[in-house]
Structure 1
Amino acid sequence: MTHIKMNRRQFSGLLASTTLVLSARGALAQDADTIRIGFVSPRTGPLAGFGKTDGYVLEQVRAALTDGIEVAGKSYAVEILDRDTQSDPARAAQLAKELINEGVDLMLAVSTPEVINPVSDACEAAGVPCLSTVMPWEAWYFGRGAKPGEPSPFKWTYHFGFGVGEIFKTYTSTWPQIETNMKVGVMYPNDADGNAVRAVLAPQLEAAGYTIVDPGAYETGTTDYSTQIALFKAEGVEIINSFPIPPDFAAFWRQAAQQGLARQVKIMQTAKTGLFPSEMEAMGSLAEGMASAAYWHRDFPYFSPVTGQSGHDLANGWEAETGEQWTQQLGATLSLLDAGILALKAASDPKSKEALRDAIATLNVETIGGKVDFTSGPVPNVAHGPILGSQWVKAKEGPFDLDYVLVNNATDPNVPITSQLAPYNE
């Protein structure tokens, strides 16, 4: 028998090496039993209204997933790594790359092209499954290089929610509730959303008999809107349709009020802004009567398969914990997490990126926001969803000044309507 003699330093080195190997093996075993989800949203910056409630929703989901999930007979812990883009597309891309390097199995991105598109592009390049929601799907699909009539160039990224078709259907079934001259002044910025609606929505509105008054694309961050306002006044527009980020809309509409445009407008139709109570509070008296569009509302008749909450459960919980008015982003964010968890459960192996991608591609489930069905188009990698006509009105009761009411359900008749569209200057 051969005896090997070691001094104290050699023995300590061997012990450290053995511990390191055992720790590494333990980490690998833990990683094999843990599903890691990256979650990227704008919690601060100009788009912060979209991310304001995300922390609360993540708390609900993490609590519901305390015991993990079971997939194909095996139990997995679930870890959600959430990151704030600060409303910066470059930061969104960087955060996505960092999360990919940290080994996430699934990426979730929510709210606006400034967040979703750079995250989706990073995932597509790295071969990581990505699921997103809350932006027009055309701005996601065509805005990232897909061509009409051609096969999808995307193998790893998927998006669900409303598109320009749903927006058109909602507008053209809501606006006739008020008699107007059908002249629409459009404020479409030079960004992914603005370019998509200018290319698709504006021609559809014209075909439906509306006259489009378009002063041209403006750059995000513009501070003087006198040229646009003068044109809208001269043309006598009675409907305005806007797709700016919130600070730009606030600047535009305050100037519109100062320069007399607001008095002639019968329908102030907002999009991408006018979605959240905080934005309306900042507008003061100018907010009352603004038409909006709801991609989620507390009156949606659906439940979260992850947390078990109804829309009212979710909204009431937020108000009780924060003292602040509920927002439609609560349900939108939870619907993304619902869909992501259901995709993981449907995968033959949630740790296999190919298996998870295939599960998303065939996903057909119901979330707190309604159905998410990737089996029926409208194009590959996209599942369309509803957007409903809504309006900010003076609250009849309760602690908040304004109430957010539904005035049209053309894109989801399951959702109850509670009001009729009223003229902006009523």
Structure 2
Amino acid sequence: MHYSTLRTLGLAVTAALAITACGKKAEQQAGQASTPASAPAVAGDSDVIKLGFAGPLTGPQAHYGADMKNGILLAIEDANAQKLEIGGKKIKFELVAEDDQADPKTGAQMAQRLVDAKVSGVIGHFNSGTSIPASKIYSDAGLPQIAMATAPAYTQQGFKTTFRAMTSDTQQGGVMGPFVVNKLGLKKIAIIDDRTAYGQGLADEFEKSAKTAGGQIVKREFTNDKATDFTAILTAIKASQPDAIFYGGADAQSAPLAKQLKRLGLKATLVSGEMTRTSTFLQLAGAEAEGVVASLAGVPMDKMPGGKDFESRVKAKFGSMELYSPYSYDATMTMIAAMKKANSTDPVKYLPELAKIENQGVTSTKIAYDEKGDLKAGDITVYKVEKGQWTVLETVGGN
């Protein structure tokens, strides 16, 4: 056969083989792409059960979301170490995490993504403003949700799928009003909130309880959760000479607020909630953090049933800890405990067990929910910045 003929034939064969190989690769890719979301993932000889999480993982509230996520990851690690068998199958839990950017619209989109991903339950969202719209999506899907949300509205919707990881603003605001008026002796109070579901809800509850305790609300102002300049608001408040200024919102706002308050010569004590009682607030506010008072759900870490050990484990694994990882850890382990009791990871089957569960955790000896999904009992601890550190003033309530 002529050389040119041989060469032509060789090229044809090579091309045919290449086309065949490409065809097989395309078929494999198409097969992968068409795999339904409900198809069980397998790790070794274990069924993989996906748990969802959504919270702020970027932006000014990313430290909250990261801290919450770390608690969930540690819980999943501990649960998998138990080599659980549920429903006659070996189970391995896996986290599906989404960034809701602390934005209600994005939160709803991430909620639908978690539903579409066929997760068996959701720990989240972090913010009340994202948890509330997301809760309708989870309820429609019959998917249990344990959120860090503290706004009363979260569990007042009548959904059977909503549960809390922390005490509500009704409990926290109800404690702080009388504490500020009677224990701290600060009678004239101005209030600022960031208009989020969390910030406004906490401020509303604080205002009600402060008035009931005999306090006088001399000014009520609002800002937003992106603001950093509070000069105009504080100037308007200054004329009323308040003893205290209560702020409902996050540390990204309360820190510059603390700085500007002192720069303008206001003598009022800044009081806030748990999103201010963070190490990030201390870093952002610097010397002007001194004297600030804030509340936090639960007892101090060293008084929690498993607090000291948990804190050392989180810091060893992740380098630091804010506030929320013990609560997200307990939420995750409580959800898994309900699955064990039901002997099923099917939300329809374990949801009734979750509603009536009593589980021992890091934060409490008895984690249990009322008919709305609120925690039945919980402490509130009040802290004050002294010498650059959060120090305990008093723990109110009890398990």
* Superposition TM-score, scaled by structure 2 size: 0.80
1:291 is matched with which residue?
293
The question of 1:313 aligning with 2:309 is answered yes
Q: Larger helix proportion, structure 1 or 2?
A: 2
| 128, 133, 151: which one aligns with 1:118 | 133
Q: Deviation above 6 Å: which 4+ runs of structure 1?
A: 23-26
Please give the alpha-carbon distance, in whole angstroms, between the structure 1 residues aligned to 2:329 and 2:109: 24
The question of 1:51 aligning with 2:57 is answered no
Distance 1:53 1:288, change over 3 A: same
- Which consecutive unaligned segments of at least 5 residues does structure 1 have? 1-8, 147-151, 303-309, 395-401, 415-426
Distance 1:215 1:137, change over 3 A: closer
1:382 is matched with which residue?
374
The question of 1:354 aligning with 2:348 is answered yes
Do 1:183 and 1:238's aligned partners in 2 also have CA atoms closer than 8 Å? yes
Do 2:297 and 2:381's aligned partners in 1 also have CA atoms closer than 8 Å? yes
* Secondary structure in structure 1 of the residue aligned to 2:360: strand
The question of 1:334 aligning with 2:329 is answered yes
1:95 is matched with which residue?
110
Please give the alpha-carbon distance, in whole angstroms, between the structure 2 residues aligned to 1:29 and 1:245: 38
Quick one: which amino acid aligns to residue 318 of structure 1? V
| 180, 184, 207: which one aligns with 1:178 | 184
2:277 is matched with which residue?
275
Please give the alpha-carbon distance, in whole angstroms, between the structure 1 residues aligned to 2:140 and 2:392: 40
Please give the alpha-carbon distance, in whole angstroms, between the structure 1 residues aligned to 2:77 and 2:198: 35
Where in structure 2 are the equivalents of 1:170-209 lying within 5 Å? 170-173=176-179, 176-180=182-186, 182-209=187-214
1:398 is matched with which residue?
none
Q: CA RMSD in A?
A: 3.2
Please give the alpha-carbon distance, in whole angstroms, between the structure 2 residues aligned to 1:179 and 1:201: 15
Do 1:92 and 1:118's aligned partners in 2 also have CA atoms closer than 8 Å? yes
* Superposition TM-score, scaled by structure 1 size: 0.76
Distance 1:141 1:28, change over 3 A: closer
| 247, 255, 258: which one aligns with 2:260 | 255
User: What's the CA shift for 1:238?
Assistant: 0.9
Please give the alpha-carbon distance, in whole angstroms, between the structure 1 residues aligned to 2:169 and 2:79: 35
Do 2:277 and 2:390's aligned partners in 1 also have CA atoms closer than 8 Å? no
* Secondary structure in structure 2 of the residue aligned to 1:367: coil
* Secondary structure in structure 2 of the residue aligned to 1:44: coil
In percent, how many aligned pairs have the same letter? Answer: 19
User: What's the CA shift for 1:103?
Assistant: 0.8
Count of matched residue pairs: 366
User: What's the CA shift for 1:322?
Assistant: 5.4
Do 2:358 and 2:368's aligned partners in 1 also have CA atoms closer than 8 Å? yes
Do 1:38 and 1:108's aligned partners in 2 also have CA atoms closer than 8 Å? yes
* Deviation per residue, 1:387-409 (Å, 9 max, x gap): 21112222xxxxxxx43322221
* Deviation per residue, 1:140-167 (Å, 9 max, x gap): 234xxx3xxxxx2x13222242123422
| 44, 49, 70: which one aligns with 1:35 | 49
